[in-house]
Homo-oligomer: A and B are copies of this chain.
Amino acid sequence: MKVGIIGATGYGGIEVYRFLQKHKNVHSCKLLTTSQQDIPYANVYPHLHGISDENLNLVNEEKLKEELDVIFLATPSGVSTNLTPRLINGKAKIIDLSGDLRIKNQEQYESYYQKKYPPKEVIDQAVYGLSEVNREAIKDADLIANPGCYPTASLLGLYPLVNEGLIRPSSIIIDAKSGLSGAGKTPSLVSSFTESNENLRIYKVHEHQHTPEIEQLLQSVNDQVGPITFSTHLIPMTRGIMSTIYVELHEAQKTNRLKELYQSYYSQEPFIRIRKEGQFPSTKEVAGTNYCDISLKYDPRSNRLLIVSVIDNLVKGAAGQAVQNMNLMFGIEETEGLVDTPIYP
């Protein structure tokens, strides 16, 4: 397979590259940017010294769409809206890691993203790439809107309950926490070490653009669900997301019965690990890997269920799930290139 990564200099791009390095079916990997050209990739990422001898190239949409089998767009918000219309309908399948193509409702998109909406035919074609939930649609897709990091953790934590109709539809509260790499590579005051180290911050309160993304998927399963309350915090660490989710149940449940429900949904999933009762995952336990670890505990006092779901935001929350989707789209073993033991500590 011939693969291209547009936005190879960003953190999403370098992670896609890392997984493709280990992928048996990938024989060439073009590294593309919209600004730099003809610079060795190892100049941008010195940790690749002696590993990568590729150069960065400028994007040429017409050539790429015919030469390549699959193109990953790991580009900042808004870029994909412009590029995708020129990349689809060629030979190459497209996997977009940005938020541009995820929201089916134009008004919602414009309200949360404050950006121009992509052409309707692109949105119509885009399949939401939550691998475990949309597997069959992904297999047939030519264009994937790869899920956001917070939605991935949150939706995998909520899906069985919502699908079973066990929760009060308006009771969902997601208190999400992310490491700083989620802010991307462009330097800013908020993401500087000095401002974020030894600090804890809440941001975009009631305004985060991942809110409609989460509701859209949940409502596709059960249209009564929502509105959710979703809040996001910056944790002084590089990688990792934890979604602490609170829901009210229609009726009292035993934690171990709920755990069995989750196991029945996910027991065949190679990347979802339901943790033992009483054992809650920490973010470091999935760092660098495509795992999503989930644990839950019912509180009979308040009739609330707490669900904890952790991922590596750059892997299952971005590049790893993108490669998982590529595997699905091309009929490759779903775990190819993605199996790894977490590095601990």
- The interface of chain A, by Cβ under 8 A from chain B, is 11, 14, 18, 21-22, 45-51, 170, 173, 175, 177, 179-181, 183, 185, 187-189, 191-203, 205-206, 227-229, 231, 233, 235-240, 242, 244, 246, 273, 275-276, 279-288, 293, 297, 299, 301-302, 304, 306, 308, 310, 341-345
Contact = CB atoms under 8 A, between A and B. Distances in A.
A177 B233 contact: yes
A279 to B, nearest CB: 6
Given A199-B284, A227-B302, A173 B273 contact: no
A47 B199 contact: no
A198 B237 contact: yes
B244 A233 contact: yes
A40 to B, nearest CB: 10
A275 B49 CA distance: 8
Given A185-B194, A192-B191, A197-B180, A344 B237 contact: no
- List the number of copies, as a whole number: 4
A185 to B, nearest CB: 7
A285 B185 contact: no
Contact of A343 (B205, B227, B341, B343): B343
Nearest to A279: B46
A198 B196 CA distance: 12
A195 B183 CA distance: 12
Given A185-B189, A197-B237, A199-B240, 17 more contacts: A14-B345, A22-B341, A46-B275, A46-B281, A47-B344, A48-B341, A49-B293, A173-B246, A175-B175, A187-B192, A193-B196, A193-B238, A197-B236, A200-B240, A200-B242, A202-B308, A236-B237
Question: Among A188, A235, A236, A275, which residue has the most Cβ atoms of chain B within 10 A?
Answer: A236
Question: Among A198, A231, A286, A345, which residue has the most Cβ atoms of chain B within 10 A?
Answer: A345
A184 to B, nearest CB: 9
Contacts of A46: 275, 279, 281-282, 285
A88 B325 CA distance: 50
A249 to B, nearest CB: 13
Contacts of A283: 199-201
B203 A280 contact: yes
A183 B192 CA distance: 10
A54 to B, nearest CB: 13
A37 to B, nearest CB: 20
A33 to B, nearest CB: 15
A197 B198 contact: yes
Given A14-B344, A177-B177, A193-B192, A47 B284 contact: yes
Contacts of A308: 202, 205
A177 B175 CA distance: 11
Contacts of A177: 177, 200, 233
B299 A50 contact: no
A165 to B, nearest CB: 20
Contact of A233 (B51, B242, B343): B242
Name the 3 nearest CB pairs between A and B, nearest first. Answer: A187-B187, A47-B285, A199-B284
A12 B49 CA distance: 26
Contact of A50 (B14, B242, B273): B273
